Amino acid sequence: MTPGPVQLPQEVLNNMALPMEHHRTPEFIALWNRTLANLKRIFNTEQNVFIHTSTGSGGMESALVNTLSPGDHVIAVTSGKFGERWADMAETFGARVTRVEVPWGKAARVAAIEDALRTHPDTVAVLCQACETSTGVLHPIREIARAVSKSKAILLVDGITALGALPMPMDEWGIDVLVAGSQKAFMLPAGLSFISFSKKAWTRVEQAKCPRYYFDIRKEKAANDNGESYFSSAVTHVRALELVLNIFLSQGLERVYGRIQTLSRATLLAAGEMGIEVFPESPSPSLSALVIPEGIDGQKVRAEMEKNDAVIVMGGQDQLKGKIIRIGHMGAIRDEDLLLTLKSFAATLNRLKPGTVSEERIIAALNKAAEVLRESPMVAMKVALA
């Protein structure tokens, strides 16, 4: 029940156990091209989507090295661990970085980004997480994109804990570079990152002077235009990706997003019933970060939930260590998985500090969650027949 890696559907696991194929066979090449085409539908873009064999952080590096030159001025929205990472990464590659610091748990304010763009008219790129996984906040990407589009800067969005979990239409919103990762809403193990560049971003790709080879999107584009990948493909991951995309598209993206939204709503309502505070001011549907009540060590909560109930959630990172737990809503989550998680959480709080949540509140919370979950049942992990 973590915000990634997520629980994989059995169908995906079975798919990963199929015999190896060579990535240069006509069969795999056909699958590769179908998969790239289907990824465009998740990104909602007319542009190419590319696959790197890397974790999401590799995709974040690709976004930078393909669009920046040393000395470029960049605005980085930092609102948690992954925002900090992206800003550090940009500095590593020689960018001059101005951080728009957002208190952890708060959503970025568009006006603050507009101010920074006015103060630094030489800004060539704005970096922002869609969902900051470390705090569970969802930033107003659509509005940020509108603001950035009025400048000469491009908007780079880390959609790792967002894409596939909620609508993020790249072209319509005007996102210039969008990055995603396999181990979140795409229900795969870590190992692939996905990235797409808008037309505006492509002009930067041609000019960018950051040295790059493994993540050089020009090489990958030339190979893809020729129907293949530039490097060896992570065949097992790509085949399982095809399966997941077929599930998404045949079941309908609205239903996929709806289910995640429902898991989120059930969790937040249950937390409310139990008197548990929600950490972020605008929670992303992809995960819920809940505040550990005063006087309880959140690291113990996490460990006790695993030990006693075999429920694995994540705690807080860095400054939030011990202060929150994070429950993921992506992946193959059954109703009973979430209900057990909520029950285990409440029981663990009471074990560590008796009387934290009353029996009545727990029952009310679970009833409320169950009621909400009924509205949008788990998406069938099957490819619907045409």
Query: Quick one: 104 or 215, whose CB is closer to a copy of itself?
Result: 215
Query: Quick one: 53 or 251, whose CB is closer to a copy of itself?
Result: 53
Cβ contacts of 218 within 8 Å, gap of 6 or more: 66, 205
Which one among 31, 36, 44, 58 touches a copy of itself, defined by CB under 8 A? 58
Mask for 271-310, x = binds a copy of itself (CB under 8 A)? -----------------------------------x----
Longest C-alpha distance within the chain, in Å? 64
Please report whether residue 344 would count as binding a copy of itself according to CB under 8 A.
no
Find, among 256, 284, 254, 255, the residue nearest to 268 by Cα.
284
Q: What region, left, alpha or beta, does residue 123 occupy, with left being phi > 0 and alpha being psi -120 to 50 degrees?
A: beta
Which one among 30, 222, 312, 380 touches a copy of itself, defined by CB under 8 A? 312
CB of residue 214 vs a copy of itself: minimum separation in angstroms? Answer: 5
CB of residue 276 vs a copy of itself: minimum separation in angstroms? Answer: 22
Contact criterion met (CB below 8 Å) for 52 and 62: yes
CB of residue 336 vs a copy of itself: minimum separation in angstroms? Answer: 16
Contact criterion met (CB below 8 Å) for 208 and 68: yes
Footprint on residues 223-262 left by a copy of itself (CB under 8 A)? 231-237
Footprint on residues 102-141 left by a copy of itself (CB under 8 A)? none
> DSSP string of 271-331?
HHHHTPPBSSSSB-TTEEEEEPPTT--HHHHHHHHHHHH----EE--GGGTTTEEEEE--S
CB of residue 69 vs a copy of itself: minimum separation in angstroms? Answer: 12
DSSP H or E stretch at residue 152: none
Sign of CA dihedral 154, 105, 256, 143: negative
Could you tell me which residues are beta bridge partners of residue 157?
Answer: 128, 178
Which one among 314, 346, 362, 365 touches a copy of itself, defined by CB under 8 A? 314
CB of residue 87 vs a copy of itself: minimum separation in angstroms? Answer: 11
Please report whether residue 202 would count as binding a copy of itself according to CB under 8 A.
no
Amino acid in position 119: T
Q: What region, left, alpha or beta, does residue 191 occupy, with left being phi > 0 and alpha being psi -120 to 50 degrees?
A: left
Please report whether residue 8 would count as binding a copy of itself according to CB under 8 A.
yes
Stretch that binds a copy of itself, among 168-176, 204-212, 292-300, 377-385 (CB under 8 A): 204-212
Query: Quick one: 13 or 111, whose CB is closer to a copy of itself?
Result: 13
**What span, in angstroms and rounded, lies between the C-alpha atoms of 157 and 138?**
12
| Residues at the contact surface with a copy of itself, assessed by CB under 8 A | 2, 4-8, 13-14, 16-25, 53-58, 61, 70, 88-89, 92-94, 181, 183, 189-191, 210-216, 231-237, 306, 312, 314, 331
